[in-house]
Structures are given as structure tokens and as C-alpha cells.
Copies of this chain bind each other. A is one copy, B any other.
Amino acid sequence: MEGYPFSTEVKVRFAETDAQGIAHHASFLVWFEVARVEYLERYAGGYQSIRDRGLEALTTEVHVRYLRAAYFDERLTVWARCVDVRGARFRYEYRITREGELVADGHSLHATVERGTYRPTRVPDWLVEAVSTEPKEE
């Protein structure tokens, strides 16, 4: 997808559906997170490597627009990109598609903190470089 160099796949689990017969709306946040984790694995050595360096990334904001219902056992593509890395904050943007059709989109904001103290700490340069989508598109 244009502007989204990264994507991963999820399959709607039965446990993720609700009595409306569709994927529960909170499941989409979990899929966004799965995409962030895969993204970090590809570009920054994995989220665990960030935790191993004494950092934790907190989620400070999420926004989702649900355009179409998602159903049990469907295979969805979760597109993600990391933009606006500055100071202790960074932003992810997402699109979820099913066979090319847009199912949902959204974004999340994150803050880097020290593990243990939860004090905000600047996103280290190596991580800025690793996760920032735009430089990689040059």
C-alpha cells in the first residue's frame, strides 16, 4: 500500500469475535500492537531488545475508525508505519485491509520511558533511525 512499506497478517480468532458475530472492536488494538511488534522485529531488533536496553514504550493515545466489520477466520493485512519520532514520543499509523478493501484505519502515540522508573526518556538515535519509516523510503 502506498506510503506503507510494512505489513503483517492476522487471522481473526474465534475468541476475538463477539455476540454481534463480528470481531470485537477492542481486538483491533491488539492487531495494531501485533503489527508494531513485527515492525520492531524487522527494523529494530525486536521490542524485547528495546526492553533489554532498559526502555519501555507506553501507549499514550489510540484512535481507530471501523469502516467494515471483520469476521471469524478472515485473513487481514495490517499495514503500519512509524512517523513523527521526536523527543520521547513517536506515532504509528495503521490501515487494515481484507483483499484490498479497507476495513479500518487508525493511529497510536507512544512515549519512551525508563523501565522501572517510568521516567520519560528521549527515543535513542539508533531507535529513531531504525523505526522511522520515511528515511527508509529514500
Contact = CB atoms under 8 A, between A and B. Distances in A.
In the complex, the count of this chain's copies comes to 4
Contacts of A37: 13-14, 73
A1 interface: no
Interface in A6-40: 13-15, 17-22, 24-26, 29-30, 33-34, 37
A65 interface: yes
A130 interface: no
Contacts of A19: 14, 17-19, 21-22, 72
Given A13-B30, A21-B19, A29-B25, A59 B66 contact: yes
Interface of A: 13-15, 17-22, 24-26, 29-30, 33-34, 37, 41, 46-48, 56, 58-66, 69, 72-73, 118
